[in-house]
Amino acid sequence: MQLAFNILFFFIVPAFWLGMIRTYLIYKKRVNRERKLFDSAINAHHTEIKTFIISMILLGIVGSIFTAALGIEVSYAWIAFYELLVMVALLIPGAIFPVSILFISMIPIVFLGDNFFYLITSGNFSTILQEHNAETLDFMSLVTIVLVLQYLFLKFNRKSINSPIIEKNIRGNKFASYAFNKISVVPLILLIPGDLFNSTSAFWPIFKIYGVKVTILVVPFLIGFNLRFFNQMPENIMKRMANAIGWLAWLSLGLTVDAFVWKSSIFDVISILVIFFAYWLVLRHFKKVDRKASNPVEQSIDGIRVLGVKADTPASKMGLKIGDLIIEVNGQKVTNEDQLYKALQTKPTFCRIKIMNRNDRLEIKEEAIFADAPHEIGIVTFPSDDKL
């Protein structure tokens, strides 16, 4: 019974199911928006759900290797508090703060210990940082691992943004922004002091470390981002953001090593706060970088702006990208979709497209197209006003 509970704890905790439901709702919202604006989904596949499951498996393996190798030990009290915060976050539409939740859940334990709830309700704060809390070193190791997982999640999914959100600026011109709203709930193996059921089953790995009885638990951790980009190309800025988070993980590792040497509660608290503040600065910095770029994907009267490119289509094979401005098709100037498809029909099985890329450089793209189906070239353009 105990063996089954500890292994299935990941699936028993509501955070996993709330994460799945949240992911499905994100997918449905995206597809419905695309069908409303463009008559068909840019990507009808369950990409958000696929990302959720693949990340859960792969990042869970990577993260669990680290947590098991380091022997990270946390209390039931902290796990319960962390999972509660994750469930609350998943129930709030648009909210997703994985690293913030991790830090917020750690602070009461660091200051007050595992009895933090009783001490807070009783108003007894006399035990604050009276002695070094060994659990804080495990917290810092856990923060480092979660930052690595955030880095990997962003690194491997940065090319998946292809769904525009259409708005109008103060001049009445249409422009597109792009959201990266993907999450996963990752299983990590942690050591827990004691035995949940006081069971002595020979089939369950209960052992002692320095005379303390511990067991293992597979705990769900929230990973993901809710980002929106207005001026920078998502793939480029997300690559830079991922690298910054990667360097932050190295900083966290260095502080963790220092904490192991110093064994000071004050140093531990300051280190945790420094890492959290640095993470917040990274996200805020790239948000400002995007807003200051002043290069939106905006509707143009000089050609047809590419908002998205459908996978496995002539447009994707010829390398068209978000933000490209189509100027000529098969030697004919085009400024709207009607002109685009009329120009494509002049050569039913081949197209030659002249574009101005986002760096203001002219390029020529050539590719065979579907015979007698030029409308399936795979380019997503601005919708008419009545669809907004």
pLDDT at 313: 85
Tokens 């098709």, residue located: 329
* Predicted TM-score of the model (pTM): 0.88
**Could you tell me which residues come within 8 angstroms of residue 309 by beta carbon, excluding any fewer than 6 positions away?**
162, 315, 316, 320, 321, 322, 378, 379, 380
- What does the alpha-carbon distance between residue 237 and residue 229 come to, in Å, rounded to a whole number? 9
CB 268 within 8 A of CB 149: no
* Burial annotation 234-263 (CB, 10 A radius, 16+ → b, else e): bbebbeebbebbbebbebbbebbeebeeee
> Is 3.40.50.1820 the CATH number for 299-387?
no
pLDDT at 367: 83
- What does the alpha-carbon distance between residue 40 and residue 373 come to, in Å, rounded to a whole number? 16
- What does the alpha-carbon distance between residue 179 and residue 162 come to, in Å, rounded to a whole number? 9
pLDDT at 15: 93
pLDDT at 376: 74
pLDDT at 12: 86
**Could you tell me which residues come within 8 angstroms of residue 303 by beta carbon, excluding any fewer than 6 positions away?**
325, 326, 327, 334, 335, 355, 356
Strand partners, 9: none
| CA-to-CA separations, 188 to 106, 332, 355, in angstroms, rounded | 17, 57, 48
- What does the alpha-carbon distance between residue 331 and residue 323 come to, in Å, rounded to a whole number? 21
pLDDT at 206: 44
Residue ranges in the chain whose pLDDT is less than 50: 130, 132, 197-211
CB 340 within 8 A of CB 326: yes
- What does the alpha-carbon distance between residue 297 and residue 310 come to, in Å, rounded to a whole number? 17
pLDDT at 85: 94
pLDDT tens digits along 104-127:
988 888 777 766 665 655 555 555
Which residue type sits at 234?
P
Q: How many residues are given for the chain?
A: 388
- Of the candidates 160, 193, 176, 181, the one whose C-alpha atom is nearest the C-alpha of residue 79 is 193
- What does the alpha-carbon distance between residue 45 and residue 49 come to, in Å, rounded to a whole number? 9
pLDDT tens digits along 259-307:
888 877 788 888 889 999 999 999 999 999 998 888 889 998 889 999 9
Domain(s) labelled CATH 2.30.42.10 in the chain stretch across 299-387
pLDDT at 137: 85
